[in-house]
Amino acid sequence: MDISSLDSGPIWLTLQLASVTVMILLAIGTPMAWWLAHTRSKMRVGMEAVVALPLVLPPTVLGFYLLILLGPNGWIGGPVKALTGAPLSFTFTGLVFASTLYSLPFVVQPLQSNFESIGSTPMETAESLGASRWDAFFSVILPLSRRGYLTATVLGFAHTLGEFGVVLMVGGNIPEKTKVISIEIYDRVEVLEYTQAHILSAGLLLFSFIILLTVYSINKKLPVHVS
């Protein structure tokens, strides 16, 4: 069978999607995880439950709501369309938005437990020695959190690679824009192009295994910090 008919577009697109999503998730996940780890607010349990929702919801629930929200008449798609002329459904940006929601717990939860294990003592000590909050975070907390960040990054990335149901529902299967590997595999299986499906599937399997293996072996070497 023809291997050259295998198009690298979906592979690059998927890697791009996973990278952008993880970067956004680290940026918004850090303050969220920090807050969850330190707050005494009553809203904490509620927030924790919200963050964990994508773990238990079927992707179709998320996909269905997103299809409506991101569309031209939706709460998000509507204003976006008014601003940019196009709604978010069927766009790469829309997929990034969907993936960010979908992979949120995979980034927030490791960071949160990491921050919890560090406790508030190192931050307080640094502040008492005159460091600003930002300075204390970047020069004390971050280096102590390498393990948490590594886990969060890898899990967020790998989980976005494996996203399927949500993308199927809001992506529209557009080459170069929303056709990710998982959709490509689905299509190939459906038209009985098993050779291509095998190559992509085995590739994804191997790739996912290797990054998980890497993270677990690095994690073993990194020190754990418990105050």
Partner 1 sequence: MNAFKKNPRITASLLLTFLLLQAPGALADELRVAVASNFLLSVKELSREFEKTTAHKVVVISASTGKLFAQIKQGAPFDVLLAADSLRPELLEKEGIGVPGSRFTYAVGRLALWSADTTLFLKNDLQVLNQKNFRYLAIANPKTAPYGKAAEQVLRKKGFWDQLQTRMVRGENISQTFQFLVTGNADIGFIALSQLKRNQKQLKGYSWAVPSEWHDPIRQQAILLKRAKTNKAAQEFLNFLKSDRVQKIIESYGYSPL
| CB-nearer residue toward partner 1: 48 or 193 | 193
DSSP-assigned letter for residue 74: S
Nearer to partner 1, 17 or 37 (CB): 17
Is 180:92 a contact under the CB 8 Å cutoff?
no
d(CA 89, CA 91): 5
Question: CB-wise, 116 or 187, nearer to partner 1?
Answer: 187
Best CA proximity match to 146, nearest among 207, 220, 208: 220
Q: Which is nearer to partner 1, 35 or 186 (CB)?
A: 186
CB 205 → partner 1: shortest distance, Å? 20
Residue placing its CB nearer to partner 1 in the complex, 32 or 68: 68
Dihedral of CA atoms 222, 223, 224, 226 in degrees, nearest 10, equals -160
Q: How far is the CB of 69 from partner 1 (least distance, A)?
A: 10
* Residues near partner 1, by CB under 8 A: 67-68, 70-73, 77, 86-87, 89-90, 168, 170, 172-174, 186-187, 189-192
Q: CB-wise, 159 or 188, nearer to partner 1?
A: 188
Which candidate, 166, 175, 44, 178, places its Cα nearest to that of 100? 166
- For residue 225, the minimal CB distance to partner 1 (Å) is 47
The Cα–Cα gap between 177 and 197 comes to: 20
Shortest distance in whole angstroms from residue 71 CB to partner 1:
4
Question: Are the C-beta atoms of residues 57 and 159 closer than 8 Å to each other?
Answer: no
CB of 93 to partner 1, least distance (A): 14
First-to-last C-alpha distance (Å) of the chain: 59
Distances (CA, A) of 227 to 85, 122, 125, 206: 52, 8, 12, 37
CB of 11 to partner 1, least distance (A): 19
